[in-house]
Chains A and B, each alone.
Chain A
């Protein structure tokens, strides 16, 4: 009898343990849903969750984003904004997990087919009313990448220009000059290498910066036909256009003569940038978003104050002039379609994009160029680098649009960013590289 009672107690304990386990999960869900509903319905407590790709909250764009968030919370005492920030690779992975399981309210996005096509097909982003933004000063065409079937789903943050940053003092000390043609760039790299310095610091480990570099060369080769050539290649899976072949061959030749640091194809963003900011490399190939280097107190003043930039020199025989540049409107923000606080999230988004917020703060913090008109915020105290970049954009006769790696589906992006390492280091032929990236489009 005693044993029987013990058996019943034991069974009851086991069952209770299981039920408690399940029950707790259930109650957590209920609480979470409950808090979401409270946020949506109560005027006194609104929580907006932001998922950002800017983990550095003390420098550059992350700082600007955080400044606006703090300002919004100060102006709206009932609003709490929770930020989850991851770097780009981790961000994109988690974004997908969120897309399957419920997105945060405001998210970072990229207005490029490689990212946005699948996201918009899944219907996870809320539609925005384009007419609401007529007074926001967006540069003509900058919203296009964030639209589908004429509907707007996100807003661009930056105008990104592909640049070659250089150390002006190092150039002057050694008698080097900014190259006007690609052959001059190659000659310059030879001289820099002979001086025992790395010519160009290249983040080849991540793949995408090198794909942007290829875009830059292709723009100089193909001129204003760049976008048509690339979209045709992506649509057909045939990348054998002479311009693409020539641009790829130029990249291969550049790498083979030692334009980049040893091991560039396995080194990451931070390591590469450090080579330039600690004076081991004379040049650094990256987008205009890294203009904040000129204000970064962690970089030694003798380097920080001497950072300048130029755009890809013209390629001999190419169709582009010096002012046809590789530039695009890439990153931006969107609101989740299923956000329980959608209205408040859109309100915050609109606050963020008021011309005197993202655009102004971005300019003041040297974050490069906004996708909105920034001329009203020039103070005259801009860094030389900022002025240079501003002039580059002002003098541009054409801008390329989306870089080649972001023009196709995600599978194409994954493929080109991996295969470009092989073609640049000579382990894959140009023909095999073009065939491999073409196959990824089908």
Chain B
């Protein structure tokens, strides 16, 4: 078998599919995107090279700036709200044991298996100020007025709640798996030392979960940056771009405004930001580990 894997023909044939997928599925589109980013292409007909004009326009584009701010807001929301809750719930589930553990694990994961389109329309109805569930529930508790959940001021928070709810199960499941992999001997030692559940969670579980937290946080930031489907279906970036995100804005510019070249420029900057965010986070985590 060892000889088989040292055969160049075998290595070549095993590597070739991956290389082809990478070249035609990843590298070529990126190269084409970089090229079109320097053109005035409308997506139809001829394209002309216009140098850095798209990038200069992007630099002054108020909506693109807003979409990046919204991505940052979402990432902070994920890190500060979704993930602490997910770790906590994962730790509680771990302690539940038995049938209840499996039952609640499934319950929390259900939003993840529902189609994004269904989720978006479901929440559209929940948020509707006239006949939505949320206002009806508030009125049942005595609230007299109506809240416009998707107004210019509230919409970004409403979107954040939907995204946190939708992605919660996935984050929780990763933390849950991480907790399950912690050697029980640490908990036994903590128990012998008389540590409470909360102290054990803070002093044993969380520190040992550091690698899992790092992965989850990186994934949360990337997920916030590339947010598209839910926002597209729930608000389409509105009202007046208040819930605009880079990927949705890219789509609008390239396919609705017929500014294909500009859309590609957004794509290039978007990829650079994603790569920088990933590298930056990895560096921060590595430095923390070194300390």
Contact = CB atoms under 8 A, between A and B. Distances in A.
B151 interface: yes
A265 B243 CA distance: 13
B4 interface: yes
B13 A275 contact: no
Given A266-B151, A425-B240, A8 B130 contact: no
B129 A121 contact: no
Interface string A3-17: 110111011001101
Given A118-B42, A263-B150, A93 B256 contact: yes
10 A-B pairs closest in CB distance: A422-B240, A122-B44, A14-B13, A122-B45, A266-B150, A265-B239, A410-B258, A414-B257, A421-B239, A421-B240
Interface in B1-26: 1, 3-4, 7, 9-10, 12-14, 16-17, 20
Nearest to A96: B43
Contacts of A89: 256
A123 interface: yes
Nearest to B125: A271
Nearest to A281: B130
Contacts of B155: 266
Interface of A: 3-4, 6-8, 10-11, 14-15, 17-18, 89, 92-93, 96, 99-100, 118-119, 121-124, 198, 204-205, 207, 261-263, 265-268, 271, 275, 280, 409-411, 413-415, 418-419, 421-423, 425, 427-428
A10 B10 contact: yes
A280 B20 CA distance: 58
Contact of A96 (B3, B238, B240, B258): B258
B240 A265 contact: yes
Interface in B225-264: 235-242, 252-253, 255-259
B177 interface: no
A428 B152 CA distance: 10
Choose among B20, B150, B151, B238 the residue with the greatest number of A CB atoms under 10 Å from its CB.
Answer: B238
A118 B43 CA distance: 9
A104 B106 CA distance: 45
A234 B211 CA distance: 56
Interface residues of B, number: 42
B13 A409 contact: no
13 contacts: A7-B10, A14-B17, A18-B16, A93-B255, A198-B130, A262-B130, A262-B148, A265-B238, A268-B124, A414-B257, A421-B238, A422-B242, A425-B152
A267 B150 CA distance: 9
A3 B133 CA distance: 67
Nearest to A280: B130
For chain A, what secondary structure do more than half of its interface residues adopt (helix, strand, loop), or is it mixed?
helix
B121 to A, nearest CB: 10
B152 A11 contact: no
Contact of A14 (B16, B45, B236): B16
A427 B256 contact: no
Given A15-B13, A410-B257, A425-B151, A419 B44 contact: no
A268 B149 CA distance: 15
A17 B20 CA distance: 13
Contact of B12 (A11, A204, A207): A11
Interface string B192-229: 00000000000000000000000000000000000000
B204 to A, nearest CB: 46
A411 B43 contact: no
Contacts of B255: 92-93, 96
A205 B238 contact: yes
B128 interface: yes
Contacts of B44: 96, 99-100, 118-119, 121-122, 124
A405 B104 CA distance: 51
B240 A121 contact: no
B146 interface: yes
Contact of B129 (A263, A410, A414): A263
A265 B237 CA distance: 11
Contacts of A275: 130
